[in-house]
Structure 1
Amino acid sequence: MWVTSMPQVWDEEGVAKGSVVTPAPATALLGSLAGWMSRAVEPPAPRPCGTEGGPPVTATRLRLRDGRHLAYCESGVPKEEARFKVVFSHGFTGSREDSVRASQIRYRTTQGHMASAKLAPPTYPASKNETWPAPEPAGAMELLTTAPMLNCAAKRAGGSALGPLAGALGSWIARAVVPPPPPPRICGSPGGPPVAAPRVRLRDGRHLAYAESGVRKEDARYKVVFSHGFTGSRLDSVRPSPEVAEELGVYMVGFDRAGYGESDPNPNRSVKSAALDVEELADALGLGPKFYVIGISLGCHAVWGALKYIPERIAGAAMMAPVVNYWWPGFPTDLAAEVYNKQEVGDQWALRVSHHAPSILHWWMEQSWLPTSTVMAGTTPLPNKRDAEIRKNMKADGSFQKKMDLATQQGIHESYYRDMMVMFGKWEFDPMSLPKPPCPVHIWQGDEDGLVPVVLQRYLVSRLSWANYHELPGTGHFLSAVPGLGDTVLRTIFG
């Protein structure tokens, strides 16, 4: 998941919690995509002024250190008499003759001298056979991501023209230039991974793979559907002790979310489809008219979806370190932007593309020269010592890679990348606008979570008077690894 610095956690929660996603980042995305296209599609050669076949030079010009010329014109009082000297940069379709159009009286009163320049391209190819020098990607992106005007948060309630524009451009590029993601390798199909887990068949023909734990379903007092996190699988759970699960009478079923593990991909995945998958799984397994749902990290979008779309089926809900979407309208723009901008640059870009141009996400994430998620790379800084140690050990013993291989065996696009597009894309509702559900809801959050910003979680629950919030001091993102917490979660929701 993705968050404050898009960590790359790879256990049942491996999610990075993000940052403030504001439409402003779309401007940077647009600039980067345009720069990429300028290298991929050769523009017509320019006709420099003063060259053979080019326009004549009629304006005053000065020669720069790199050999280029800038044409300019002056206005206002004579430069020698001026108290204030101004350089004016014209707008799109403008020229050196533009200015702020101050009256001559005002010029004289303030004694201002203004020089307006008409900017030229940095260099010119000598012939059509030469190519324009490729811009330096890292330098251009650094400029875009640090420019104050591009970093500030735009109003999300009414939307920004740049967000849709970037999305439209991304979609066009995806169709015209970017190759489509490779087709998934469906489990049980020729050339695909084998089917080893029990599965249920859904109404649309897809299969969901699942794994059961706790007491026998027939003996259970409480039946729970568990939604795993980013990089997770059906084998994940809150890790309660067998004794507590037996004492309380808890049956739990985890499932591979669509496209993960051995569950068939869903090209139409959404928050709603995740909730309906939970409902269909419960019905196929005979869990009754009401059941409990627990989600962890990015997998909590299925819990939010259940509270929105099937609240009458939910007996109780719990979310552990739930990932947030920085574009949820309920977040104050300034707060979301502040947190978002604290992320690693690659994580900011991964979220931007996920939200504004999901159609090119697969291509973007596969380009080594572009900034991408540190969560995927497993390099996100983790402030909590336990989290950092867990990830270090998982990498050392190979379980980090093994977990990734299992999750993505049908294709990384249908698992990880679709997760990003759903979680950080455009939701049909804002969780902070949900009415009080007909069941208790609990949220657990560590105050040292390096993937999900605690400050945003606190704000979210402040808007939901009906949510029971449990903040854990000195705790990070991997809550299922916290000793005894699994037992506490079960005792709390079934108390």
Structure 2
Amino acid sequence: MTEVNQAAFSSQYVGMEGNAIGGGGGGRGEAEDWKYHAAEFAKGVAEMSVEFGRGVRDVVKQSLLTKDSYFMRNIGEPCVKFCERLRFLNEYLPEDRDPVHSWSVILFVAVVALAALCISTGHDTTTTLVKRLYIHPPSARRILLPDGRHLAYQEQGVSADRARFSMISAHPFLSSRLAGIPGVKTSLLEEFGIRLVTYDLPGFGESDPHPNRNLQSSALDMLQLSYAVNVTEKFWVLGYSGGSMHAWAALRYIPDRVAGALMVAPVINPYEPSMTKKEISRIWENWTSQRKLMYMLARRFPSSLAFLYRRSFLSGNHGQIDKWLSLSVGKRDGALIEEPTFERFWQRDVEESVRQRNVKPFVEEAVLQVSDWGFRLSDLKIQKKRQGKGILHWLKSMYSQAEEELTGFLGPIHIWQGMDDKVVPPSMIDFVQRVIPGAMVHKLLYDGHFTYFYFCNECHKQIFTTLFGNPQGPLPDEVEDQTPIKIGQENDADEEEEEEDTLGDTARD
């Protein structure tokens, strides 16, 4: 036995000596041995980690996740309630997906993406020129409302006493009274005899905020403004994009004062209960994921909008319109917003909109669009007034000769909608046509959200011609009779006045 071990030891020693003498062959053997040992060590560490994780999981289940544990008694129930509130998110998953697995993967990917974004922005070495927002000195006219608030407004076109048609407009989101009809020429307004009055919504521009505003209070503000600026006849309401919900409110709450409605790319509540599932799907599929998220936050978690708005258009810096509003624009819209004229107009309008640096009005405006309006668009449909129920009402209708009354908005509603609009999908207007069949819709085949309404004199003229017919100019001035008097007549008149004065003096004597 000893001899065998000695022989084995001798052969091993000789092999080691040979490796030492051979040099290169021995180096490759040692490298292979190192790789083998490293791989085995890594496998061992992985197996130990898996076993350790399983052990931790078992300990957590046995000590923390039991019904009687401190954790479940104090934290488990609030977590269950919170998860129940988020259960509506499962509607966005396909039917064959497990919510627990899917949302865990989504959360992990979101964390990784956010970390990558932070790293990329942190190591960004490019320098870009950032234009600061400039707050201009106050310049608006203001009226005092019955509740003590001030409302800022702007007038364009002809004066009140010479206006054939008066038009009042509320501005869309992230805008101000300066918007009105962007780029409309004063000469065109005078040609049609139009007086255009635009105003700042509460908390925007130079208007005071409203403590509890809604669409009904918005319509009443418009009514008070019309009286204050001496609009004695019925006026037209103008609604563009997000500002159209205030025009819809005017048709609902002050219809007796409204002559008609001009709508351009009007929005509706994307959660309108009258919409079918197919209509909802057609509307939502056209929006970017960011825009869908903003609508969801406005409806479910409105307080989160304040943080997002402060980091974007309330940060004090100018930014791109598509990023601020989460828009996806078509080719023609994209080319328009890159033009210097549009950029100057947009930046000045934004500066006026955010002059108070108050985030609350913007959150209110976003929430108004996706919450209950207090009415449905179908309420504006012209229809017979519903009679009361019962035998007495039936007998009254049999023997009464009174004409049937109509409800809804009785004036004209004109809507211009671009078929390439990525902000207000054309499918929204299809829904409006269904619930308000009397509305006259003008579909623009190649236009988007901005191209037909911004800086297009020919477009503005087409709109006014459709609404008011051929231009007739402003109303003539009311002047007194200025019939010329001949010189001879003047002398005779002077002599008669002298004779009357002489007779009067004689009578007094």
**Inter-CA distance 466–396: structure 2 relative to 1 (3 Å threshold):** closer
By how many angstroms is 1:422 displaced? 1.3
**Inter-CA distance 395–425: structure 2 relative to 1 (3 Å threshold):** farther
Show the counterpart of 2:424.
452
Q: Secondary structure at the match of 1:148?
A: coil
C-alpha offsets along residues 276-328 of structure 1, whole Å, 9 cap, x if unaligned? 11111001111014211111111111110011100011011111111121111
By how many angstroms is 1:69 displaced? 6.7
By how many angstroms is 1:394 displaced? 5.3
**Does residue 382 of the first structure (1) align with residue 320 of the second (2)?**
no
By how many angstroms is 1:210 displaced? 1.1
Show the counterpart of 1:12.
none
**Inter-CA distance 260–375: structure 2 relative to 1 (3 Å threshold):** farther
Show the counterpart of 1:237.
180
By how many angstroms is 1:439 displaced? 1.0
Q: Letter of the aligned partner of 1:148 in structure 2? A: P
Q: Letter of the aligned partner of 1:424 in structure 2? A: V
Show the counterpart of 2:54.
68
Q: Letter of the aligned partner of 2:273 in structure 1? A: P
**Inter-CA distance 459–396: structure 2 relative to 1 (3 Å threshold):** closer
Task: Give the Cα–Cα distance (whole angstroms) in 1 for the partners of residues 336 and 54 of structure 2.
Answer: 56
Q: Secondary structure at the match of 1:487?
A: helix
For the 8 Å contact 2:236–2:261, the answer to whether it is kept is yes
**Inter-CA distance 420–376: structure 2 relative to 1 (3 Å threshold):** farther
Q: What residue ranges of structure 1 are gaps of 5+ in the alignment?
A: 1-62, 73-94, 96-118, 126-139, 152-191
Q: Secondary structure at the match of 2:453?
A: helix
Q: Secondary structure at the match of 1:287?
A: coil
By how many angstroms is 1:205 displaced? 1.1
1:363-402 matches, within 5 Å, as 363=307, 365-366=309-310, 375=322, 377=324, 380-383=327-330, 385-393=331-339, 399-402=345-348
Task: Give the Cα–Cα distance (whole angstroms) in 1 for the partners of residues 449 and 344 of structure 2.
Answer: 20
**Inter-CA distance 280–320: structure 2 relative to 1 (3 Å threshold):** same
**Inter-CA distance 399–236: structure 2 relative to 1 (3 Å threshold):** closer
Q: Which is helix-richer, 1 or 2? A: 2
Task: Give the Cα–Cα distance (whole angstroms) in 2 for the partners of residues 150 and 268 of structure 1.
Answer: 44
Q: What residue ranges of structure 2 are gaps of 5+ in the alignment?
A: 1-48, 72-85, 98-134, 313-319, 383-408, 470-509
Question: Which of residues 460, 464, 479 is equivalent to 1:490?
Answer: 464
Task: Give the Cα–Cα distance (whole angstroms) in 2 for the partners of residues 440 and 397 of structure 1.
Answer: 34
Which has the larger displacement, 196-205 or 408-417? 408-417
**Inter-CA distance 390–412: structure 2 relative to 1 (3 Å threshold):** farther
Aligned residues: 324
Q: Letter of the aligned partner of 1:456 in structure 2? A: M
By how many angstroms is 1:426 displaced? 2.1
RMSD of aligned residue pairs (Cα, Å): 3.5
Considering only CA atoms, is the larger Rg found in Structure 1 or Structure 2? 2
C-alpha offsets along residues 106-152 of structure 1, whole Å, 9 cap, x if unaligned? xxxxxxxxxxxxx99xxxx9xxxxxxxxxxxxxx99x979523699x
Show the counterpart of 2:218.
274
Q: Letter of the aligned partner of 1:433 in structure 2? A: D
**Inter-CA distance 148–494: structure 2 relative to 1 (3 Å threshold):** same
**Does residue 432 of the first structure (1) align with residue 378 of the second (2)?**
yes
**Inter-CA distance 343–490: structure 2 relative to 1 (3 Å threshold):** same
1:132-281 matches, within 5 Å, as 147-148=93-94, 194-238=137-181, 239-281=183-225
TM-score, normalised via structure 1 length: 0.59
**Inter-CA distance 144–435: structure 2 relative to 1 (3 Å threshold):** closer
**Inter-CA distance 395–230: structure 2 relative to 1 (3 Å threshold):** farther
**Inter-CA distance 146–491: structure 2 relative to 1 (3 Å threshold):** same
Q: Letter of the aligned partner of 2:327 in structure 1? A: T
Task: Give the Cα–Cα distance (whole angstroms) in 2 for the partners of residues 315 and 282 of structure 1.
Answer: 13
Task: Give the Cα–Cα distance (whole angstroms) in 2 for the partners of residues 314 and 450 of structure 1.
Answer: 30
Task: Give the Cα–Cα distance (whole angstroms) in 1 for the partners of residues 467 and 252 of structure 2.
Answer: 19
Show the counterpart of 2:284.
340
Percent of residue pairs identical: 30
